[in-house]
Each structure stands twice: as structure tokens, then as C-alpha cells.
Amino acid sequence: VTRLEQDFEVGDSLGEGGFGQIIKARRKCDDNEFAIKIIKFKSNLKDIETTRREANVLSELNHNNIVRYYNSWTVTANMPLDEYKKLCSDSEESLSTEVYSLSTKGYISEDNGVEEEENSESDEDSFVVFQPEPEYKKVKYLFIQMELCENNTLRHAIDNDLYKDEIKLSKYFREICEGLSYIHKRNIVHRDLKPENIFLTSEDVIKIGDFGLSKKILPDNNLESVQGNELPCGSLTDVCGTPIYIAPELRYRTSCSIKSDIYSLGVIYFEMCSKSMTKMEKSLVFPITRKYLQGLNFLTSNSKKKFLIRILLHLNDTERPTCDEILKILNSEKSIEEMKEMIQQNRK
Ligand code: ATP
Ligand code: MG
Ligand code: MG
């Protein structure tokens, strides 16, 4: 019996992705509900490291607008080689976590070499290197227990005419900026910001989630400097996020800064302020937005919104504002000219 089954009553699936799946689970001891992300990965060091990054980053964060992390643990299971091969040949996407089928077939069991360990201490030694029997392959699962965000995602809100609800729109955007400001101050770049990764709780509070591609960058006091907060963040193939949210500099540079998240935020804000678009419409609008940004007539007539969208989507990342600057602009009654002035002053 795995910890999941021992401590939790497993509920519905909340979502599925390339990594595995997310399930709803009720903790038996106190009836509290959580979302548990189950990530399947191969037992090599590189995969262990990248998979753990999400749990490691999340465990450091404690902010009202970031998905709260509670715990994480790993399980190792033996999978017969033929079944393993079948799983792998079904392409990466369909490698959905077959943890239940494994446990019902008895591949996960104490006498079959189940290994569960807490990794809140992030102790590398806890990953024991197994000598697998020839007919079995070791498969590892990382379980991340986190806050349940039941009220769908920002995508859902955008698709339900968020642009018409001025109050909700500015509340959501403000909360996204607060959460993002918090992680940026800790030198973490999210790198996969999009409406699908921004969740809403039953109290309608924004929670930024899915830290699967997040990266810790070099600490730097001066967040405005270009070189200062850059650190190679892998090749573009690593950034498997939806293309329209990817900052243009990431196409020719292998380094990233918090300003790449600001670009994604600009695309998100644009969507929040606009009528819901189809994929087709988006693929037409966004290349144009980048090229003809200055001349484009946004669907919104509010000039503060236009001003914000323009500077968030600035092609030059150093010109994009920080989250704190965005919050200042949101709170300010100043004219656009005065706000431009304010940002210039801020940077001197
Ligand atoms: P992507 O493929 O976009 O990188 P992902 O597969 O890595 O995403 P998540 O974005 O973390 O995984 O989660 C996938 C889906 O599961 C989400 O879109 C959401 O519907 C659901 N989900 C994730 N986390 C939670 C949560 N804490 N509470 C409720 N539902 C969640
Ligand atoms: Mg996601
Ligand atoms: Mg992800």
C-alpha cells in the first residue's frame, strides 16, 4: 500500500499532461482536500533533477497568490520490461501515470521493493540506485501534494467574458502581479506563464501554479540590468510552453531573465482584456501584435490598459516594467506621460 492510498482517499482526476496527472485527494486524518500531482520519470540523475525542480521551487514559496505546497514524496515501482516498452512507444504524451494499474497488478508493494521517501529535506542520497532485475524496469513517481484550486483556471474566466467585468479583471491582474512579484524577488523565473497555469480557488483568488519549467536565476540586486540576472536556461526545446507566450528574446538567446515572464504576462493581460479568441485568431493576432504593436488598435479603449500592454510586450526586455512597477502604475492616478516619466526616474 502506497502512502497515497494509506493517507488519502483518492478522488477525481483534475487534469492530465505530458508529465502524468493531477488528482483530487481527501486526507483521511482531517478531511482536508488537496491536489496531488503525480509525475512519472526515469531513474537517471538528469530526470531526477529536472523533475524535482518543481517540488523544490514550490516548497520555498509561501504567498497568497502562489499555489501552496505541502509535501512531496517519491515511489519506485517495478514495471515488467514488455509493459515498460509498450508505455514508452505510446509516445511521451500518453505516458500518463499508470500508478493505479501498477498497484492493482501488485507491481507496487512492500515486498516488491517499494521505496517511499520524503524529499522535503531534498537529500540526494535518498535516491537509491537500484540494480533492476533484467525483466523489470524501474519507474519513479514523484507525488506533489498541493493546495486544491477548484474553481478552474484563468483560461476558463477569459473564455467566459472576463473582459466585460472590469472589477474582476483588475482584481485578477493585480493578484497575478503580486504573486509574480513575490517569485521574481526570490530570483525565480516561472517560464511557463499562461492562463492554463494560473488557477483560481473556490474563493476566487488567483494562484499561480505549474512550476515545472521554473528556474532559479543568479541573485541580483539590480533587477533592471540585462546581464545581471541572466543565467543560461537551457535550449529552446526545453521551453515547451505555448509559443505565443514566449518572449521574443528567448528565440535567439539561451539565457532568460524575469523580463521574459513579463512578456508572457503581457500576452495574458492582452487576452484578459479581449474577447475570447480561437487558436486561429490568436495565431493571427500575436505575430501582428509583436510587429505592429505601436499602431495596433486594441479591443479595449482604456488608455492605461493599452499603455500597460504595450510596455509589457516591449521587444526589448529591459524596457519592460517589473511587477512592482506594474503595481505602481495600476495604483496611480497619473497620466500616461507622467507614468512614463515615473518609470524613467525609477531606473536612474
Ligand atoms: P503543462 O502541460 O501546461 O505544462 P502540466 O501538465 O505540467 O501543464 P499543471 O499545469 O500543473 O500540469 O496541471 C495540469 C492541469 O491540472 C491544470 O490545467 C489544472 O486543470 C489541473 N490542476 C493543476 N494543479 C491544480 C491544483 N492545484 N488544483 C486543481 N487543479 C489543478
Ligand atoms: Mg500546465
Ligand atoms: Mg507544466
* Ligand 3: centre distance to CA 345 (Å): 37
- Measured between alpha carbons, how far is 71 from 55 in angstroms, rounded to an integer? 8
pLDDT in tens, 113-164: 334 444 444 444 445 555 555 678 788 889 999 999 987 899 999 999 999 9
Q: How confident is the model at residue 1 (pLDDT cuts 50, 70, 90)?
A: low
* Ligand 3: centre distance to CA 106 (Å): 29
Residue 216, judged by CB atoms within 10 A of its CB (0-12, 13-18, 19+), counts as middle
By most ligand atoms within 8 Å of CB, the mutation choice from 33, 37, 214 for ligand 1 is 37
Highest mean pLDDT among 8-22, 107-121, 178-192, 241-255: 178-192
Question: What confidence score (pLDDT) does residue 98 get?
Answer: 44
Query: What Cα–Cα distance (Å) separates residue 203 from each residue in 65, 159, 337?
Result: 12, 19, 37
Residue 100 clears pLDDT 80, i.e. is over it? no
* Ligand 2: centre distance to CA 197 (Å): 5
Q: How confident is the model at residue 89 (pLDDT cuts 50, 70, 90)?
A: low
Query: What Cα–Cα distance (Å) separates residue 182 from each residue in 64, 187, 217, 285?
Result: 10, 9, 14, 31
By most ligand atoms within 8 Å of CB, the mutation choice from 191, 210, 239 for ligand 1 is 210
CA-213 nearest atom, ligand 1: 4
By most ligand atoms within 8 Å of CB, the mutation choice from 13, 22, 66 for ligand 1 is 22
Query: Which residues, including other chains, have CB under 8 Å from residue 171's CB and lie 6 or more apart?
Result: none
By most ligand atoms within 8 Å of CB, the mutation choice from 14, 147, 201 for ligand 1 is 14
How many other CB atoms are found less than 10 A from the CB of residue 345?
8
Q: Whose CA is nearest to atom 1 of ligand 1?
A: 17
DSSP string for 145-187: EEE---S-BHHHHHHTTGGG-HHHHHHHHHHHHHHHHHHHHTT
Cell numbers standing for residue 34: 488537496
Question: What confidence score (pLDDT) does residue 101 get?
Answer: 45
Average pLDDT, the chain: 78
Task: Give the range among 56-70, 82-96, 216-230 with minimum mean pLDDT.
Answer: 216-230
Q: How confident is the model at residue 297 (pLDDT cuts 50, 70, 90)?
A: low
Task: Give the range among 156-160, 241-245, 319-323 with minimum mean pLDDT.
Answer: 241-245
Residue 90 clears pLDDT 70, i.e. is over it? no
Residue 268: what are its φ and ψ, rounded to 5°? -65, -45
Q: Is there a contact between 4 and 25 (Cβ–Cβ < 8 Å)? A: yes
Residues with beta carbon inside 6 Å of ligand 1?
14-15, 17-19, 22, 35, 37, 67, 146-149, 153, 192, 196-197, 199, 209-210, 212
Task: Give the range among 69-78, 261-270, 287-296, 303-312 with minimum mean pLDDT.
Answer: 287-296
pLDDT in tens, 118-132: 444 444 444 555 555
Cell 500616461 belongs to residue:
336
* Ligand 1: centre distance to CA 15 (Å): 6
Q: Whose CA is nearest to atom 2 of ligand 1?
A: 17
Q: Is there a contact between 39 and 136 (Cβ–Cβ < 8 Å)? A: no
pLDDT in tens, 324-335: 999 999 998 888
Residue 112 clears pLDDT 70, i.e. is over it? no
Question: What confidence score (pLDDT) does residue 110 get?
Answer: 34
How many other CB atoms are found less than 10 A from the CB of residue 295?
7
Question: What confidence score (pLDDT) does residue 291 get?
Answer: 53
Query: Which residues, including other chains, have CB under 8 Å from residue 239's CB and lie 6 or more apart?
Result: 191, 192, 213, 233, 246, 250
Closest ligand to C-alpha of residue 15 is 1
ipTM of the modeled complex: 0.95
* Ligand 3: centre distance to CA 241 (Å): 8
Question: What confidence score (pLDDT) does residue 220 get?
Answer: 59
Q: How large a percentage of the chain has pLDDT more than 90?
A: 40
The residue among 20 and 165 whose pLDDT is bigger is 165
* Ligand 2: centre distance to CA 179 (Å): 17
Residue 106, judged by CB atoms within 10 A of its CB (0-12, 13-18, 19+), counts as exposed
pLDDT in tens, 191-230: 999 999 999 999 999 999 999 889 888 875 444 333 333 3
Question: What confidence score (pLDDT) does residue 345 get?
Answer: 79
Question: What confidence score (pLDDT) does residue 298 get?
Answer: 52
